[in-house]
Amino acid sequence: MNGRSGIFKFFLFLFLGVIVFLQFLSMVQADRLYDRLNTLIGRLKSHASVPTRPAEKPVASATPAKEYPGDDGDWLIHGLDGEPATLGYFVEGANWSNRWIESSNIFESLIDYEPDDFKYRGILAEKFSISDDGLVIYFKLRDNIWFSDGHPVTTDDVIFTFKTITDPNIDAASYANYFRDVDHYEKINDKEIKFYMKKVYFLSLGYLGGMPIHPEHIYKYKDAREFNERRSNPVGTGPYVFEKWDVGRQIVLRRNENYWGPKPKIKKLVFPFITNSTAELQALLSGETDYIRPVPDQFSEKSNDEKFKKDFYCLSYWDAGNTGYFWIGWNEARPFFADRKVRLAMTYLVDRDSIIKHILRNPEARIPTGNFYIYGKQTDPNIKPWPYDPEKAKKLLDEAGWIDHDGDGIRDKNGVPFRFKYMIAADLALHEQIAKLVKDSAASAGIEVILDPYEWSVFSQKVKDREFDAVSMAWGGNVEEDPYQIWHSSQRGKGSNYVNFNNPQADALIEQARQTLDPDKRNELYHQFHRILHEEQPYTFIYTRPEQRFLSKRFQNVIVHKLGIDEREWYVPAKSQKYK
């Protein structure tokens, strides 16, 4: 019996051992497959670069969001080269940094563009439409949506957001301009609302649907100053909630575990402020950050560094919804730049090809000729940039009466020397490099340029107050632009027409285009407006370029869409996660 029992135990252990061994092989094989898939995905994404196409007429669509693949957990450390002045979304003082932090993370809109289609999709809205005559816009909210505190979203919140933006006591004049043609609204019930327009506005659906919906029970105010002065603690419907703002250091968002939709995989978004571009890159290399927007020479160097590319994606892509342009604005209220010949002369003095070749070092960059997306249908492709031509610049300056009468090497007119201040944002190496080039080129033509740098909060206030002779800035882009806010003469005092551009013909074209629903006819009007800008040169348009990013390859599912990249799609495989 003992012999039989021993043999039985031997075969039993052998059988169990075989099962365990096969299970082990299965697990190893699965891990290897997992690794190979992640490696393949990483390689595909690191080489992804989908060019954008010209904007098409938006068509209503309410495609629901899909669950993202991948493992749950980890943080995204997104380095920013500037600290926001406020986390108030649409008040004056809001800029690109707080929009990056808040847009779609904390605040959501009723509708937004499909990432790979120039069509609208529902976000908080389940249904939406615009009447054939363009005068009635309808939204129906989804049933199961709520703010991060659990309070349901209703049309009262939509109305509150609209009324706040358009309240003349709220410091949101720039934003409110896009709602000036709304006549009234009709609350149908807690989920349905209609807006009625005084007149047609071709972007009415997009702007009304694009409002960042604010909860009335949180933001309701008696005195507008309460809203204007609220800098922190934003509350919205989005997949992330505000955790803290360590002033001067970082802003932290954590995942909204009460989110109404599919949650992103990344649990925290951390935005450290690193104003020095060299320090920003070093933080990426040392693992202190995961994601930055590099300066051009950094991208040029590192995108050709095979060792760097083993650990980081080098993303470069045109994005119709974001790609903007860099410009130098000439304040027409100043005696130097009231004359079109002088503004054109200044453009002839700026060697923009050299800026692209030697400063940007980006062969994909282009010299724009106007304010519209360079590859969009609003841009007239037949308009070519003014060339670099110092001799023609000098001739135009002579014709404008700016001549060196006293022989001191500086041009003058009516006893006023051509000496002006060129205001730039401090600590931005790219701005400083371009400003120095302009200074040297102007000096060769008998013009003295005094560089005038300020830290961002002072700089932005001076721009708003029009306290400059010339200024360098950049505007972001959109799928379709309405130039009213920047170029209409009515916006010289309160809007974004900082250079005091005043052209009645341009005003008329802007107003007519706003009320033209037919895209072909509207774009023809914008081509005429584009021609005026090109001839008048209120700005010297310096460059437009693809968006560029460095990102740690810990992150997967990094997809470049026609409208850019969406960080909420990303995840980090469990074995590569750093933060808990």
Q: Where residue 66 falls among pLDDT bands split at 50, 70, 90?
A: low
Please say if the pLDDT value at position 194 is more than 90. Answer: yes
Identify the residue with better confidence: 493 or 459: 459
pLDDT at 97: 79
Q: Which residue has the tokens 């000439």?
A: 330
In whole angstroms, give the CA distance from residue 316 to residue 303: 10
pTM over 0.85: no
In whole angstroms, give the CA distance from residue 234 to residue 223: 18
pLDDT digit string, tens, across residues 288-341: 999 999 988 899 899 999 999 999 999 999 888 778 899 999 999 999 999 999
Q: Concatenated DSSP letters for 283-297?
A: HHHTTS-SEE---HH
In whole angstroms, give the CA distance from residue 352 to residue 369: 12
At which of 163, 196, 228 does a domain end?
A: 228
Cβ pair 237, 108 in contact under 8 A:
yes
pLDDT at 298: 92
- The answer to whether position 42 is within a domain reads no
* 218, two tokens: 């949180």
Domain boundaries, position 87:
75-228
In whole angstroms, give the CA distance from residue 292 to residue 289: 8
Residues 102 and 212 in one domain: yes
- The answer to whether position 44 is within a domain reads no
In whole angstroms, give the CA distance from residue 205 to residue 30: 49
- The answer to whether position 564 is within a domain reads no
Please say if the pLDDT value at position 43 is more than 90. Answer: no
Please say if the pLDDT value at position 477 is more than 90. Answer: no
- The answer to whether position 236 is within a domain reads no
pLDDT digit string, tens, across residues 214-259: 999 999 999 999 999 999 999 999 999 999 999 999 999 999 999 9
Identify the residue with better confidence: 423 or 4: 423
At which of 191, 213, 228 does a domain end?
A: 228
Single out the residue of 261, 268, 302 nearest to residue 570, CA to CA: 268
- The answer to whether position 578 is within a domain reads no
What's the Cα-to-Cα distance from 255 to each of 86, 262, 350, rounded to whole Å?
Answer: 21, 11, 47
Q: Where residue 275 falls among pLDDT bands split at 50, 70, 90?
A: confident
CATH number (domain holding residue 82) = 3.90.76.10
* 540, two tokens: 């010297």
Rg of the chain over all Cα atoms, to the nearest angstrom: 28
> Which residues, 6+ apart, have CB-to-CB distance to 261 below 8 Å?
65, 239
Please say if the pLDDT value at position 281 is more than 90. Answer: yes
Identify the residue with better confidence: 355 or 1: 355
In DSSP terms, which residues pair with 245 in a beta bridge? 251
Cβ pair 311, 553 in contact under 8 A:
yes
CATH number (domain holding residue 387) = 3.10.105.10
**Mean pLDDT calculated for residue range 426-436:** 88
At which of 208, 228, 248 does a domain end?
A: 228
Cβ pair 471, 498 in contact under 8 A:
yes
Q: Where residue 427 falls among pLDDT bands split at 50, 70, 90?
A: confident
Secondary structure of residue 421 in the 3-state scheme: strand
* 580, two tokens: 């808990």
Specify the number of domains making up the chain.
Answer: 2
Please say if the pLDDT value at position 63 is more than 90. Answer: no
150: left (phi over 0), alpha (psi -120 to 50) or beta: left
Q: Which residue has the tokens 């900082």?
A: 498
Cβ pair 480, 500 in contact under 8 A:
no
Cβ pair 580, 73 in contact under 8 A:
yes
In whole angstroms, give the CA distance from residue 466 to residue 470: 10
pLDDT digit string, tens, across residues 1-23: 334 344 333 333 343 343 333 34
Residues 222 and 369 in one domain: no
Q: Where residue 401 falls among pLDDT bands split at 50, 70, 90?
A: very high
**Mean pLDDT calculated for residue range 108-124:** 93
pLDDT digit string, tens, across residues 125-167: 999 999 999 999 999 999 999 999 999 999 999 999 999 999 9
- The answer to whether position 506 is within a domain reads yes
Burial class (CB in 10 A: 0-12, 13-18, 19+), 6: exposed
Average pLDDT, the chain: 87
Single out the residue of 410, 411, 431 nearest to residue 422, CA to CA: 431
pLDDT at 367: 97
Cβ pair 451, 436 in contact under 8 A:
yes
Residues 355 and 480 in one domain: yes
> Which residues, 6+ apart, have CB-to-CB distance to 108 below 8 Å?
123, 124, 212, 213, 236, 237, 238
Residues 381 and 500 in one domain: yes
Please say if the pLDDT value at position 55 is more than 70. Answer: no
Q: Where residue 177 falls among pLDDT bands split at 50, 70, 90?
A: confident
Residues 195 and 85 in one domain: yes
pLDDT digit string, tens, across residues 519-567: 999 999 999 999 999 999 999 999 999 999 999 999 999 999 988 899 9
Please say if the pLDDT value at position 464 is more than 60. Answer: yes
Please say if the pLDDT value at position 193 is more than 80. Answer: yes
**Cα distance from N-terminal residue to C-terminal residue, the chain:** 57
- The answer to whether position 507 is within a domain reads yes
Please say if the pLDDT value at position 39 is more than 50. Answer: no
Please say if the pLDDT value at position 30 is more than 90. Answer: no
pLDDT at 398: 97
Q: Where residue 484 falls among pLDDT bands split at 50, 70, 90?
A: very high
pLDDT digit string, tens, across residues 76-93: 999 998 888 889 988 877
Residues 354 and 219 in one domain: no
Distance of CA 325 to the CA centre of its chain: 11
